[in-house]
Amino acid sequence: MSISDPQHDRWLNERLRDVRLPAGLLLRLRQIASGDDEQLDRALCDVPLPEGLLARLKGIPATGDERLDERLRDVPLPVGLIEQLKGIAIASDEDLDEAVRDVPIPDELVAELKKIGPVLRWAQPRRRMRRVADMVLTASLLLMIGGSYLGAMASLMMDTLSGNRRPVVAVRSPHVKAEIVREDFAFDLSPRSVTPGRPKQLFGTPEMRTELAWQFDGILPPGPQGAAFSLPVGFSLEDINTNYMLYRWGGSLFASPGEFDMIGPIQTVSAIVPRGSEPPAIGQFDWKFYRQHRVLPFVSPAAEPSLRTSTVPLGADTHSYDLVQRRLAAGKLPDVEDVRVEDFAAAINYHFAPPRRDAVGIRTAAGPSPLSAHKGAHLIQVGVQAAEMPSDMRPGAHLTVALDVSASMGWQGRWAMTQQALRGLIRRLGPHDRLSIVTFSDKAERLIENLTAKDSDEILAAIDTLKPGNSTNVGAGLASACLLAMEGAPGRDSSRRVVLLTDGLPRLSNSASARIKQIVSDAHSDGITLEVIDLSGDLKPDEQLNQLARDGGGAVHPATTANQVRWALLEGLTGRSEVVASKVHLKVRFFPEAVAMYRLIGHEPGIKTGSLEVDLRAGQSTTGLFEVVLRPNQVNRVAEAELTWLDPRDGRLHRRTQPISRLQFAATYREAPLSLQAATLVAATAEILRGSKHVQGKTLDDVLQFIHTEQISPKVLNWPSFRRFQTLAEAAQRLGGL
Most confidently modeled range among 77-81, 127-131, 491-495, 553-557: 553-557
Most confidently modeled range among 23-37, 201-215, 490-504: 490-504
Quote the CA–CA distance of 567 and 557 in Å, as a whole number.
10
Looking at the DSSP bridge assignments, the partners of residue 382 are 364, 624
The answer on pLDDT for 551 being more than 60 is: yes
Quote the CA–CA distance of 30 and 27 in Å, as a whole number.
5
Give the mean pLDDT of 14-23: 69
The answer on pLDDT for 569 being more than 60 is: yes
For residues 717 and 707, is the Cβ–Cβ distance under 8 A?
A: yes
Quote the CA–CA distance of 85 and 79 in Å, as a whole number.
12
The answer on pLDDT for 271 being more than 90 is: no
Q: In angstroms, what CA-CA distances link 372 with 47, 231, 369, 633, 693?
A: 79, 74, 6, 22, 10
For residues 637 and 661, is the Cβ–Cβ distance under 8 A?
A: yes
The better pLDDT of the pair 248, 386 is held by 386
Quote the CA–CA distance of 337 and 689 in Å, as a whole number.
10
The answer on pLDDT for 645 being more than 70 is: yes
Report the relative pairing of strands 595-600 and 621-630 from DSSP bridges: antiparallel
Confidence of residue 277 (pLDDT cuts 50, 70, 90): low
Instruction: Show Cβ contacts of residue 375 under 8 Å, excluding neighbours closer than 6 positions.
Output: none
For residues 551 and 520, is the Cβ–Cβ distance under 8 A?
A: yes
Nearest residue to 533 (alpha-carbon basis) of 490, 577, 498? 498
Q: Write out pLDDT tens, residues 659-706.
A: 999 999 999 999 999 999 999 999 999 999 999 999 999 999 999 999
SS3 label, residue 155: helix
The vertex-734 CA angle with 731 and 736, nearest 5°, equals: 115
The answer on pLDDT for 518 being more than 50 is: yes
Query: What's the first-to-final CA gap in the chain, in angstroms?
Result: 52
Cα 356 to its chain centre, rounded Å, is 36
The answer on pLDDT for 241 being more than 60 is: no
- The reply to whether the predicted model has a pTM over 0.75 is no
The answer on pLDDT for 503 being more than 50 is: yes
Helix (H) / strand (E) element for 524: namely: helix 510-525
For residues 523 and 549, is the Cβ–Cβ distance under 8 A?
A: no
Cα 52 to its chain centre, rounded Å, is 50
SS3 label, residue 453: helix
Buried b (16+ CB within 10 A) or exposed e, 591-600: bbebbbbbbb
The answer on pLDDT for 341 being more than 90 is: yes
- The percent of residues in the chain predicted with pLDDT above 70, rounded, is 61
Cα 149 to its chain centre, rounded Å, is 29
DSSP 8-state symbol, 693: G
Buried b (16+ CB within 10 A) or exposed e, 57-71: eeeeeeeeeeeeeee
CB atoms within 10 A of CB 719: 18
Q: Write out pLDDT tens, residues 402-449.
A: 999 998 888 878 888 899 899 989 988 888 889 999 999 888 999 999
Looking at the DSSP bridge assignments, the partners of residue 655 are 644
Q: What is the mean pLDDT of the chain?
A: 74
Quote the CA–CA distance of 494 and 496 in Å, as a whole number.
7
Nearest residue to 127 (alpha-carbon basis) of 96, 149, 153? 96
The answer on pLDDT for 109 being more than 80 is: no
Strands (E), 207-338: 228-231, 275-276, 309-312
The answer on pLDDT for 578 being more than 90 is: no
Quote the CA–CA distance of 159 and 27 in Å, as a whole number.
11
Instruction: Please spell the DSSP secondary structure of 67-91, one letter per residue.
Output: HHHHHHHTSPPPTTHHHHHHT---T
| Greatest C-alpha distance within the chain | 118
Quote the CA–CA distance of 386 and 353 in Å, as a whole number.
9
Nearest residue to 277 (alpha-carbon basis) of 640, 624, 645? 624
The answer on pLDDT for 223 being more than 60 is: no
SS3 label, residue 28: helix
Q: What was the pLDDT predicted at 725?
A: 95
Q: What was the pLDDT predicted at 671?
A: 95
Nearest residue to 617 (alpha-carbon basis) of 424, 419, 417? 424
Instruction: Give residue 550's region: left, alpha or beta (phi > 0; psi -120 to 50).
Output: alpha
Nearest residue to 93 (alpha-carbon basis) of 81, 82, 101? 101
Q: What share of the chain is helix, strand, coil (3-state, %, to 5)?
A: 40, 20, 40
The answer on pLDDT for 2 being more than 70 is: no
Q: In angstroms, what CA-CA distances link 364 with 387, 517, 628, 663, 679?
A: 16, 51, 14, 12, 12
Cα 501 to its chain centre, rounded Å, is 2
Angle between helices 510-525 and 543-551 (to 10 degrees): 30
At 55, the amino acid letter reads A
Report the relative pairing of strands 637-646 and 608-609 from DSSP bridges: unpaired
Instruction: Show Cβ contacts of residue 563 under 8 Å, excluding neighbours closer than 6 positions.
Output: 316, 318, 421, 424, 620
Q: From the CA atom positions of the chain, what is the Rg in Å?
A: 34
Confidence of residue 286 (pLDDT cuts 50, 70, 90): confident
